């Protein structure tokens, strides 16, 4: 799961980023509303954690800009303001949940999981290709009903391939889904993870995950 964290206080941002990564999330961060809006509009995230009071652009404007281009990932707003009218206005602009600072990390984590449990589409929760089943909610993978243990990156990589079955997924799309935005797209890290994923899935003949030269990778099903 990939999170965008937009928070101008560097100490708060760094603590939250490290804590969320320790929980298994991939986290992109932004220190102002302008960068937060750009990343939210140009990258794919499972959830956005957005501070309300930011330099350059306020959280409300960032939320409105993300919603204006048709993106519907959950947005959790953080603010020192606790007035009811403030919360109502933010909910109207497209915020899914609201937390007043200060807050505990345990409560933040609980709210994140609650928002992530809201299904985008029923078919996205469990994806099946041949004898492989991926459960996005439980972060589990089985083949022939046998559990396969994957790393966070391997799971994210398999998830994007299965969600886009019978289509070519480019290296850029894979990096956007499973790696931080500032990762090097020209490194061999994707190839290394594909190799490990094939081994764990028992894809010795490379028929399950296919390399499309010059384009990317694909999982085909008949």
Asked if the model's pLDDT at residue 152 lies above 90, the reply is no
Asked if residue 130 and residue 110 are part of one domain, the reply reads: no
Owning domain of residue 61: 2-116
Contact (Cβ atoms closer than 8 angstroms) between residue 36 and residue 57: yes
Give pLDDT, residue 84.
64
**pLDDT tens-digit profile of 69-122?**
878 889 999 887 666 666 677 777 788 888 888 889 999 999 999 888 876 544
Question: Strand 146-148 and strand 209-212: pairing?
Answer: unpaired
Asked if residue 107 and residue 24 are part of one domain, the reply reads: yes
Asked if the model's pLDDT at residue 182 lies above 60, the reply is no
Task: Write the CATH number for 40.
Answer: 3.40.50.2300
Q: What does the mean pLDDT of the chain come to?
A: 84
Asked if residue 42 and residue 67 are part of one domain, the reply reads: yes
Asked if residue 110 and residue 161 are part of one domain, the reply reads: no
Asked if residue 143 and residue 64 are part of one domain, the reply reads: no
Across residues 11-29, what is the average pLDDT? 92
Please tell me the pTM assigned to this model.
0.57
Number of domains comprising the chain? 2
Asked if residue 135 and residue 79 are part of one domain, the reply reads: no
Residue ending a domain, among 99, 116, 133, is 116
Asked if residue 184 and residue 108 are part of one domain, the reply reads: no
What is the number of other CB atoms lying within 10 angstroms of the CB of residue 79? 20
Find the range with the poorest average confidence among 5-9, 19-23, 45-49, 182-186: 182-186
């Amino acid at each position: 799961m990939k999170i965008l964290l937009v928070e101008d206080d560097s100490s708060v941002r760094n603590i939250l980023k490290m804590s969320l990564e320790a929980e298994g999330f991939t986290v992109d961060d932004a220190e102002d509303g302008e960068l937060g809006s750009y990343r939210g509009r140009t990258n794919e995230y499972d959830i956005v954690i957005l501070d309300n009071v930011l330099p350059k652009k306020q959280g409300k404007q960032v939320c409105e800009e993300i919603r204006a281009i048709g993106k519907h990932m959950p947005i959790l707003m953080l603010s020192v303001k606790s007035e009811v009218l403030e919360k109502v206005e933010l909910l109207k602009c497209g915020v899914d949940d609201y937390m007043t600072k200060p807050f505990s990390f345990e409560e933040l984590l609980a709210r994140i999981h609650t928002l992530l449990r809201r299904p985008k589409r029923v078919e996205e929760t469990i994806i099946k290709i041949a004898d492989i089943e991926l459960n996005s909610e439980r972060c589990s993978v089985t083949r022939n009903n046998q559990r396969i243990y994957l790393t966070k990156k391997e799971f994210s990589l398999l998830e994007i391939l299965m969600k886009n079955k019978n289509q070519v997924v480019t290296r850029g799309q894979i990096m956007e889904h499973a790696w931080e935005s500032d990762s090097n797209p020209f490194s061999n890290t994707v190839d290394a993870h594909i190799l490990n994923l094939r081994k764990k899935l028992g894809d010795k003949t490379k028929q399950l995950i296919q390399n499309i030269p010059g384009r990317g990778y694909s999982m085909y099903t008949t």
